[in-house]
Amino acid sequence: MRAAAGAIAADADLLTRLDAAIGDGDHGVNLNRGFTAVVAALEKTPPDTVADVLIKAGTTLMSRVGGASGPIYGSALRAAGKALPPTAEVQPADLAAALHAGLEAVRKLGGAAPGDKTMVDAYGPAADAFEQAVAGGAGLTGAAAAAARAAAAGAGATTPMQARKGRASYLGERSIGHQDPGATSTALIFQALADVS
Ligand code: ADP
Ligand code: MG
Ligand code: MG
């Protein structure tokens, strides 16, 4: 979470610029505020389990970030946490299942399908790549690296898409030609996971 907060802070201007092009220009500010609050909450009362880290992070994002991305990222983290065993360390296969539980929560809450130009287009490929890497015998390091690569490719692939969910969908065809801000922040978060794995 600290690494994710650092990555979001470092690229907050980029996220805001991307959101200014096809949304309302607050994505970097939203997430920077949210992840700063997440780190503060975790440092104040450090949880004993990975599950509780994710649940606390999700709850914090939900309460501190307005707009679409707070509830969506918040519910993803909470669902991922709830899918984990209550232990201080988790196995890569547990994390693979948790990532998919988080993705399911995103799709349930936001209703976005692959190709709708949202964070799902980065998160989906990342969760799949993580799971496939684990199934192929990779540990956390290899699986997180594969997920980060897939998330970055997925975020890049949103550029030619027309948005069908979120604010960008109001632009219709004018949303084409811009990378989705939420898919971009998802790629940053998976890269942060890879960096510390
Ligand atoms: P807002 O659009 O409310 O200002 P943000 O700018 O923080 O919220 O977040 C925008 C991002 O949220 C988008 O780039 C997109 O990736 C994501 N998003 C918006 N609506 C949905 C949805 N229904 N499902 C999944 N992701 C969504
Ligand atoms: Mg916005
Ligand atoms: Mg907004």
**How high is the ipTM of this complex?**
0.99
SS3 71: helix
Query: pTM (2 decimals)?
Result: 0.98
pLDDT at res. 68: 95
Helix (H, G, I), strand (E, B) or coil at 147: helix
For residue 139, the tally of other CB atoms under 10 A from its CB is 12
Environment of ion ligand 2 (residues, CB < 5 A):
19, 23-24, 26-27
CA distance 29 to 35: 10
Distance CA 175, CA 23 (A): 9
pLDDT on residue 135: 98
For 47, the domain range is: 2-196
Q: How much distance in Å is there from the Cα of 135 to the middle of ligand 1?
A: 31
Q: From the alpha carbon of 118, which atom of ligand 1 is closest?
A: 16
The CATH number of the domain holding residue 52 is 1.25.40.340
The answer to whether the CB of 77 falls within 8 A of the CB of 106 is no
13: tokens are 């201007």
The pocket around ligand 1, CB under 6 angstroms, is made up of 19, 23-24, 26-27, 30, 67-69, 72, 106, 110-112, 118-120, 165-167, 180-183
Per-residue model confidence (pLDDT) at position 78:
98
Domain count for the chain: 1
Question: Which two tokens mark 53?
Answer: 């880290």
pLDDT for the residue 66: 84
Residues of the chain falling short of pLDDT 50: none
Alpha-carbon 35 to chain mean position: 12
Residue 157, SS3 per DSSP: coil
Distance CA 167, CA 44 (A): 35
